[in-house]
Amino acid sequence: MEYTVKKLALISGVSGRTLRYYDQIGLLKPARINSSGYRIYGQKEVDLLQQILFYRELEVNLEDIKKIISDPTFDQTEALKSHYQLLAQKRARLDKLMATVKGTIASIEGGIPMQDKEKFAAFKDKLIEENEKKYGEEIRSKYGDETVDASNAKLRGISEGDFKAMNDLGEEIMVLLKKAYEKGDPASVSAQEIAAKHKQWLMYSWGSYSKEAHAGLAEMYVADERFTAFYDKVADGATEFLRDAILIYLGMEK
Amino acid sequence: MEYTVKKLALISGVSGRTLRYYDQIGLLKPARINSSGYRIYGQKEVDLLQQILFYRELEVNLEDIKKIISDPTFDQTEALKSHYQLLAQKRARLDKLMATVKGTIASIEGGIPMQDKEKFAAFKDKLIEENEKKYGEEIRSKYGDETVDASNAKLRGISEGDFKAMNDLGEEIMVLLKKAYEKGDPASVSAQEIAAKHKQWLMYSWGSYSKEAHAGLAEMYVADERFTAFYDKVADGATEFLRDAILIYLGMEK
DNA sequence: TTAAACCTTTACGCTACGTAAAGGTCAAGG
DNA sequence: CCTTGACCTTTACGTAGCGTAAAGGTTTAA
């Protein structure tokens, strides 16, 4: 059986445009072109298309599908496994999104307008959740459960005004850090101001404060690439600069 | 506090391009433009951006976010609820994809090359699963469990050769249906040929065949929009045409 | 004063097609 | 034989949400 574009489209369920596109990008070439320039597909192409659609269903992008079906030495298992990981991540993310949406709906239906308490609470939950997700495990193992739980508990109990103030302070620190970093001296007045503000900022979420803990956190900032990535958004090396400023501020320079 | 593009980008984590884009589409306009044409944002804009990013996290598209935040009378709850449905669907789909991927990996690691048995089995499972999902519930309630289970069992036990033959036959029916439909007469030879082939096709998956069941199925094709959508791919009205042809074939025209 | 680091607008690129537009081909009916 | 209509072709613009130059003006600190 031979198929023109329309016929193949009919039995496969994809559009004619899709078939021409797949031809164009070299994903599925017709068996031959007839004298009038028509694309003619054979049984082999029908089978190939089925394979392609199988992977497409799995949300593999066309470029990868091309590799998978064209290169038989390509490690399909590995590709599928990493693809599975991707799907799992997507699902985990969806789960969280759904929870947040549900919470938001509930808060609205509770008669409390977005803007206010519940939205704020949703944000807090999200914040805690993200903190927990990003840093929880490692911090727990390195610094003990109490620290983390205490931080979360404090965060949960925080007032809306404080929350906003804390956020603003966090923003301010980022901006100031940029300016101070450009001067290059962690002992400078501006850098020491940042360290002070950073302590203030920490106080919002920390149950108890100690110089040692502050210094330890500063060291962790540098050691943990996720913190580094965050503060280095300001500039490369800003994380180390912040650590140095804090250590000097605490009188704990090495 | 006032922010230029770069500063707002820094504290919010989005790119400068994103902010300019949001300005461009009217999602987030700066508080003012200074004498040099620079965008200047204030605290209000920072708050708005936070809201925007909140919804963006939920995978709401920017157009909808615009509606949500710009029109306070807009029914946010409804929007969020339908959005929740969307997310739920996505997740259900992901679950199935993951199962299929896992199965495919297992089949490959079992040493059986794709192309062959296991891929074929995966396809069959998928087919059964899809049938079950699409029509299972309704068919079960309307026509009883045995019919469905028998169909699935038969499908599971089908041989590879038969499976291919069945698929080919299904394709052929679609193509023939198109041609016959264009002639417009369900009593025509070509239409009756289709009815015969349709019976043949059914026999592949049905445990037992009866005219009544065949006629009932034909009626269901028309009654159920999912079947209608499938056969109407050929042409509008093709489903009814198919039913009429089958009824005539069975000698059961009303 | 000069370089670096910002800022601006314009515009093309990305995915996987949908959707015309402009024109050639083919089978069926009159 | 001719027409009609359904098919076929290529070209090309549009979609969402930006990334990424390019080309040029502004501000800031040394």
- Is the pLDDT at A5 greater than 80, yes or no? yes
pLDDT number for residue B167: 65
User: What is B22-89 written as a DSSP string?
Assistant: HHHTTSS--SEE-TTS-EEB-HHHHHHHHHHHHHHHTT--HHHHHHHHH-TTS-HHHHHHHHHHHHHH
Tell me what the mean pLDDT of segment A2-22 comes to.
93
* B148 and B162 belong to one structural domain: no
* B52 and B98 belong to one structural domain: no
Give this complex's ipTM: 0.52
Within a domain: A42: yes
Tell me what the mean pLDDT of segment B61-80 comes to.
81
Confirm or reject contact between A114 and chain B (CB < 8 A).
Answer: yes
Residue A66 domain boundaries = 5-70
Nucleotide whose C1' lies closest to the alpha carbon of residue B64? D16
* A137 and A176 belong to one structural domain: no
Within a domain: B166: yes
pLDDT number for residue A211: 67
Which residue has 């004619």 as its token pair?
Answer: A16
Tell me what the mean pLDDT of segment A17-24 comes to.
96
Q: Which residue is nearest to nucleotide D19 (CA to C1')?
A: B17
Tell me the nearest-neighbour CA distance from B250 into chain A, angstroms.
Answer: 26
Tell me what the mean pLDDT of segment B159-178 comes to.
69
- Is the pLDDT at A134 greater than 60, yes or no? no
Average pLDDT of chain A? 72
* B165 and B242 belong to one structural domain: yes
Confirm or reject contact between A80 and chain B (CB < 8 A).
Answer: yes
pLDDT number for residue B93: 76
* B138 and B100 belong to one structural domain: yes
Tell if A179 CB is < 7 Å from nucleic strand C: no
Question: Regarding beta strands A39-40 and B32-33, do their DSSP bridges make them parallel or antiparallel, or are they unpaired?
Answer: unpaired
Confirm or reject contact between A178 and chain B (CB < 8 A).
Answer: yes
Within a domain: B176: yes
Whether B94 and A76 lie within 8 Å, measured CB to CB: no
Bases of chain D with protein Cβ within 7 A? 7-12, 16-20, 25-27, 30
pLDDT number for residue B72: 66
B14-29: pLDDT as tens digits: 999 999 999 999 999 9
pLDDT number for residue A21: 96
Last-in-domain residue among A20, A47, A70: A70
Q: B54: Cβ–Cβ under 8 A, 6 or more apart, which residues?
A: A119, A123
Q: How far apart are CA B106 and CA B80, in angstroms?
A: 38
A69-102: pLDDT as tens digits: 887 666 777 777 877 887 887 788 788 778 877 8
Highest mean pLDDT among A113-122, B152-161, B162-171, B178-187: B178-187
pLDDT number for residue B137: 39
Chain B residues whose beta carbon lies within 8 Å of the beta carbon of residue A90: 94
> Helical H runs in chain A?
5-12, 16-24, 43-57, 62-70, 76-109, 117-131, 137-143, 145-157, 160-183, 189-205, 211-223, 225-231, 238-249
Largest CA distance in chain A: 85
Tell if A188 CB is < 7 Å from nucleic strand D: no
pLDDT number for residue B110: 66
pLDDT number for residue B206: 61
The token pair that represents B223 in the structure block: 């009654």
pLDDT number for residue A72: 66
Within a domain: A168: yes
pLDDT number for residue A162: 53
- How many domains, in total, are found in chain B? 3
Confirm or reject contact between A96 and chain B (CB < 8 A).
Answer: no
Within a domain: A254: no
Q: How far is the CA of B95 from the C1' of C9 (A)?
A: 45
Residue B225: its H or E element: helix B225-231
The neighbour count for residue A176, using CB atoms within 10 Å, is 17
Nucleotide whose C1' lies closest to the alpha carbon of residue A36? C25
Exposure string of B31-50, with b = 16+ CB inside 10 Å and e = fewer, is eeeeeeeebbbeeebbebbe
Tell me what the mean pLDDT of segment A184-189 comes to.
82
B176-217: pLDDT as tens digits: 888 888 888 888 888 888 888 888 777 766 655 667 667 767
Which residue has 């021409």 as its token pair?
Answer: A20
Query: Of residues 59 to 88 in chain B, which lie within 7 A of strand D by their beta carbon?
Result: 61-63
Query: Of residues 119 to 178 in chain A, which lie within 7 A of strand C by their beta carbon?
Result: 178
Confirm or reject contact between A134 and chain B (CB < 8 A).
Answer: no
CATH of the domain at A31: 1.10.1660.10
Largest CA distance in chain B: 85
Whether A57 and B88 lie within 8 Å, measured CB to CB: no
* Secondary structure (3-state) at A131: helix
- Is the pLDDT at B227 greater than 90, yes or no? no
pLDDT number for residue A113: 47
Closest residue to B58, CB basis, from A83, A101, A108? A101
- Which of A12-16, A190-194, B74-78, B234-238 is predicted with the least confidence, judged by mean pLDDT? B74-78
- pLDDT grade, residue A203 (50/70/90)? low
Within a domain: A150: no
Chain A residues whose beta carbon lies within 8 Å of the beta carbon of residue B233: 10, 13
Q: How far is the CA of B39 from the C1' of C8 (A)?
A: 10
* B66 and B82 belong to one structural domain: no
Tell if A63 CB is < 7 Å from nucleic strand C: yes
Q: How far apart are CA B219 and CA B146, in angstroms?
A: 19
- Is the pLDDT at B157 greater than 70, yes or no? no
Tell me what the mean pLDDT of segment A10-36 comes to.
94
CB of A18 closer than 8 Å to CB of A27: no
Confirm or reject contact between A75 and chain B (CB < 8 A).
Answer: no
Tell me the nearest-neighbour CA distance from A193 into chain B, angstroms.
Answer: 18
Q: How far apart are CA B49 and CA B22, in angstroms?
A: 10
- Is the pLDDT at B156 greater than 90, yes or no? no
Q: A163: Cβ–Cβ under 8 A, 6 or more apart, which residues?
A: A120, A123, A124
Q: B194: Cβ–Cβ under 8 A, 6 or more apart, which residues?
A: B173, B176, B177, B180, B242, B245
Closest CA to A245 of A209, A226, A221, A229: A221
Cα angle for residues B164, B168, B169 (degrees, 5° grid):
115
Of residues A99 and A158, more confidence is placed in A99
pLDDT number for residue A7: 92
Within a domain: A153: no
- pLDDT grade, residue A33 (50/70/90)? very high
Percent of chain B at pLDDT above 90?
Answer: 17
CB of A82 closer than 8 Å to CB of A45: no
| Beta-bridge partners for B40 | B32
